Chains A and B, each alone.
Chain A
C-alpha cells in the first residue's frame, strides 16, 4: 500500500525531509510503518520511546492499522504554548 509519512522538528532533521512516500505491506500498523522508517534512518530509532503518532490528522495508537493513501505522522515530544 502506498502511504505518506510526515515527520516534524528534530525527526525531520534526522530523516532529511518533511514527507516521504513509501510502500508498506497490506495489513501494516503504525508501528510497522515506524519500524520501517527507523530501519531506513537508524538515527531516528531512539525516538520511539517518546513518540506520538497520527493517521490522517487524528491521534493514533501504534497498533492502529494503516490503509492505502493514509498520511501517517510521527510526532516528537511537543513544545508549544
Chain B
C-alpha cells in the first residue's frame, strides 16, 4: 500500500526540486528572442526554433554558441558580467530577426542572451536558425551574431587577474547601413 510522499519500497526520498519540471515544459515556454539570467539551454533553443519553423518545414538547423574564454588581451579572465537595457535589447533582437527575414525569408531565428555573471566556459549567447536548406541556416545564424555585436544594448564587464573593465565595442546604430552590409557580407562569406 502506498503512502503519499513515500516510495512503494518505504524509503523516503525528497520530492524533486523546483527546477525538475522545467525540462518537461513545451518548447513554446521559451520566447523566440530573449534575455535571461538563467544558464542557457541549447537543446531548448533548437526545439524552440524548430517549433517556430513548423514540423517538417526545415531541413537544417544551425546553432551558434558564444562562450566565455579564459583569456583576453593577454590576461587571464576570471569571469564576465553582462548587463542589458532589456526592453531595448529585446527590440534590437526583433530588428535583427526582421532584417534576417528580409534576406532569408524562409528562415526562423531564436536568440537568447544571458545577463549577470557568466563563468569561463559557460555560454553567454545561443542563436538557432532553422530553414529549408543549410546555406540559409548558416548564413542567418552568422548574420544574427554579427548584428548582435553591432546593435544590441548589452555590455560585458570582464574580471581578470589584476582588475576589471567594461569592454567597449561598437556604437550601436541600427540605421547604419554600412554596418548592416558588413554583417551581411560576413554571413555570406
Q: A: which residues have CB within 8 A of B? A: 6, 8-10, 13, 50-52, 54, 57-59, 73, 75-81
Cα–Cα, bound, A13→B168 (Å) = 14
Interface contact A51-B84, CB-CB below 8 Å: no
Interface contact B153-A54, CB-CB below 8 Å: yes
Interface contact B149-A80, CB-CB below 8 Å: yes
| Residue B151 lies at the interface, judged by CB distance under 8 Å to chain A | yes
Cα–Cα, bound, A59→B94 (Å) = 13
Q: How large is the interface on B (under 10, 10 to 19, 20 to 34, 35 or more residues)?
A: 20 to 34
| Residue B110 lies at the interface, judged by CB distance under 8 Å to chain A | no
Interface majority SS on A: helix, strand, loop or mixed?
A: mixed
Interface contact B113-A80, CB-CB below 8 Å: yes
Interface contact B152-A78, CB-CB below 8 Å: yes
A9 proximity list for chain B (CB < 8 A): 83, 155, 157, 166, 168
Interface contact A6-B85, CB-CB below 8 Å: yes
Interface contact A76-B170, CB-CB below 8 Å: no
B125 proximity list for chain A (CB < 8 A): 80-81
Interface contact A73-B156, CB-CB below 8 Å: no
B70 CB to nearest chain A CB (Å): 17
